[in-house]
Amino acid sequence: MGIGKDARRLGPAGFLLLACSSGAFAQSSVTLTGLLGAGIGYTSNVGGHSNIYEDSGILRPNTLSFQGKEDLGGGLKALFYLGTLFSMNTGGILGAPGSLFSRESYVGLSNPYGTLTFGQQRDFTFDTLTVQQYAGIFYEGLYGAHQGPFPKFGVPYVIGGSYDFDRLNGEAINNSVKFKSANFSGLTFGAMYGFGGVAGHFGNSDSSSFSVDYEFGSGGVAAVYTMAKSPTNDNGNAGIRNIGVGGKYRVEAFQLAVLGTVSHNTGNGAQIDAVDTTASYDFSPFWNFATTYTYMDGNAVLDSAHASQVDATLTYQLSKRTSVYGTYVWQHASGPGALARINSTQTSPSSSDAQTMVGISIMHLF
């Protein structure tokens, strides 16, 4: 999800990169940033057995990113971003096979009115609803994303069929062009289109995302629409449509946020409606506690399964760059044969209608 605001300039390798580029050094910059996190996780029931394991990227994914800007004059800037996801436990790159920059990779231009970029980019479901703290996953991370007892929902290329079904955990769209406006007195908006690349069938396997967000002094409201088709869903003619609407309000150290999402598979007719209610409290500049209650409801295609989930995360900042945290998640599933399944790296659901996960980890930004 997010990248640390603190970054340092590249060392000798950075200067070599700059030496190979054109333009004045004084007007250009390249930075290397990263986020490293790992810890111990416990799951009460994975296919009928409890499990204790080392887990990485619980609250935020492990990332290594290169990003750069060049001042072109007159308020116009060129920019790029190359980011990869990896496992702290194995060192392996995460994402599609053969993908080097599996987080995002884009290049573009910005001016005082907005930013236009081209490449592989996350849609506005993540950029707006998660990053702007409408979704509980902002505090709970991977375990707090939505999955549940919906194996027939049909999210492509994922284990369990419903991993992050409403895209709040941050899914990238290939071959995309994206515009995000500047902030106009609290109002931002954006539009995005991902080309399917199928000759003779312009709309086949394409994707689109739209967002509007209004932030005022003590809160905000936002709405997002995302449609992502897949070659595996009705030969590229269908996909997963997500609609999310959220609101938040802060009173001093306390913030309350409510988010509703509707996720619909246009290929098989499956639909999941979900509602998040998140409360966050800053006990001090170093301590934060956040808890989220989520209700997920599947339609008849999903055997009318539904689930309740409670998440809680306590975070302590050791410094601006290093923090430790503990996460607790409990899910209860209901419906004919419904098996609880918390969103995680575990490969099997619970063998019953309940599942609990606990994680303790350290996270460092550079």
Q: Encoding tokens for residue 125?
A: 């479901």
Cβ of 177: how many Cβ atoms within 10 Å? 17
Give the pLDDT score at 26: 45
Quick one: how far is CA 248 from the chain centroid? 18
The structure's pTM equals: 0.88
User: Quick one: pLDDT at residue 123?
Assistant: 97
Q: Is 307 exposed, middle or buried (0-12, 13-18, 19+ CB in 10 A)?
A: buried
pLDDT band at 327 (very low <50, low <70, confident <90, very high): very high
Tokens of 115: 């930013």
Given this model, what pLDDT does residue 44 score?
Answer: 96
CA angle 233, 234, 239 (to 5 degrees): 45
Task: Tokens for 204, please give them.
Answer: 């086949």
In a domain, 179, yes or no: yes
* Structural domain count, the chain: 1
Q: Is 75 helix (H, G, I), strand (E, B) or coil?
A: coil
User: How large is the average pLDDT for residues 330-351?
Assistant: 91
Cα–Cα distance, 339 to 358 (Å, whole number): 19
- Least confident range of 1-15, 90-104, 171-185, 352-366: 1-15
pLDDT band at 60 (very low <50, low <70, confident <90, very high): confident
Evaluate whether residue 230 is within a structural domain. Answer: yes
Which residues sit opposite 313 in a β-bridge? 290, 327
- Per the structure, the complete domain to which residue 328 belongs is given by 37-61+120-365
Instruction: Please indicate, yes or no, if residue 143 is contained in any of the structural domains.
Output: yes
pLDDT on residue 317: 97
What does pLDDT average to over the chain?
A: 90
The token pair at 243 is 């609609």
Query: What's the pLDDT score for residue 142?
Result: 86
Average pLDDT on 199-228 reads 95
CATH of the domain at 238: 2.40.160.10
Answer whether residue 44 is part of any domain: yes
The reply to whether 87 falls in a domain is no
pLDDT, one tens digit per residue, over 220-276 is: 999 999 999 999 999 999 999 999 999 999 999 999 999 999 999 999 999 999 999
Q: What is the pLDDT of residues 16-52, one digit of tens each?
A: 333 344 444 447 899 999 999 999 999 999 999 999 9
The predicted-structure confidence for 138-173, as pLDDT tens digits, reads as follows 999 888 899 999 999 999 888 788 999 999 999 999
In a domain, 107, yes or no: no
Q: What is the largest CA-CA distance in the chain?
A: 66
Q: In terms of residues, how long is the chain?
A: 366
Residue 145, domain member (yes or no): yes
- Picking from 321, 301, 310, the residue whose alpha carbon sits closest to that of residue 3 is 321
pLDDT score at 3: 35
What pLDDT, on the 0 to 100 scale, is given for residue 46?
Answer: 94
299 within some domain: yes
Name the nearest CA neighbour of 341 among 299, 298, 289: 298
Q: pLDDT value at position 21?
A: 42
User: What letter represents residue 237's amino acid?
Assistant: N
pLDDT band at 95 (very low <50, low <70, confident <90, very high): confident
| Cα(365)–Cα(63) distance, integer angstroms | 10
